[in-house]
Amino acid sequence: MSNTSRVPRKLAPGFHFQPTKQELILQYLQKKVKGLPLPPLNTIIECDLYDKEERWRNVFEQDRSSKIRYFFTKLEKKTGKSSRCNRETGYGVWKGQKHSRVYDKKRFIGKDGLFTYKAKKGTQGNNDNWVMHEHSLGDSLLGNDYVVCRVENKNEEGIVLAKHNPHRELRNIDNAGIHDTNPAIPAAVTLEVQSNNIQFTEIE
């Protein structure tokens, strides 16, 4: 995964990035896999959600404006011929809860897997409460290892840093193998919101 990184782009105050499952699969993941340009005004970043240092936590720590973040990540098989993927991180494991099929106008387009984070013994994070929805492509593109994930921080007291050393500092996000996937946005992009079929919620 690329080490090129940029701080994730923020939307204008009052707007939230809230794509549906169908939009995440068709407008973002499918285009990512095919190498097509992604829609503007997205806040999806590319990050390995299964790396040993759990660098994805840095994204939540450095910008606490939202408890929900979206990531592109690449899955790794446990063995070359295995259909099972590695779900362990440096300090815990993403445990699968259930999977459901996603349809668009009765057409099967992908799957939605629900995962919860469980910290390993001996690490800080016993009260860690993270939930992830992993969206994968349908049968026609199953050979690709990319997925798009919606990760939600449900910790009531902010970010819990699951780590052995309580004095270890967060890594700088610019060196964390995390990068923004959002293309340059023109000044008049707000006029294009409806044409991109993306749901934005304005806070009153």
SS (H, E, C) 148-188: EEEEEECCCCCCCCCCCCCCCCCCCHHHCCCEECCCCCCCC
The rounded mean pLDDT for the chain is 76
Confidence band for 3, pLDDT divided at 50, 70 and 90: very low
Residue 96 in domain: yes
**Cα–Cα distance measured from residue 114 to residue 77, given in angstroms and rounded to the nearest whole number:** 18
Strand segments (E) across 14-85: 45-46, 68-74
Rg value, the chain, Cα? 17
Residue 111 in domain: yes
pLDDT in tens, 130-144: 999 999 998 766 557
The boundaries of the domain holding residue 88 are 21-153
| pLDDT of the residue at 64 | 83
Residue 36 in domain: yes
Residue 158 in domain: no
Residue 104 in domain: yes
Residue 148 in domain: yes
**Dihedral of alpha carbons 124, 155, 117, 148, sign:** negative
* Residue 56 in this model has a pLDDT that exceeds 50: yes
SS3 98: strand
pTM of the predicted model as reported, rounded to 2 decimal places: 0.74
Residue 2 in domain: no
Residue 64 in domain: yes
pLDDT in tens, 181-203: 664 433 333 323 333 444 434 43
* Residue 4 in this model has a pLDDT that exceeds 70: no
Confidence band for 46, pLDDT divided at 50, 70 and 90: very high
- Number of structural domains, the chain? 1
What CATH number does the domain containing 123 carry? 2.170.150.80
**Cα–Cα distance measured from residue 192 to residue 180, given in angstroms and rounded to the nearest whole number:** 20
pLDDT in tens, 149-164: 999 998 866 555 554 4
Given phi > 0 = left and psi -120 to 50 = alpha, else beta, which region is 170?
A: beta
What the block records as the tokens of 22 is 């169908």
**Cα–Cα distance measured from residue 69 to residue 8, given in angstroms and rounded to the nearest whole number:** 10
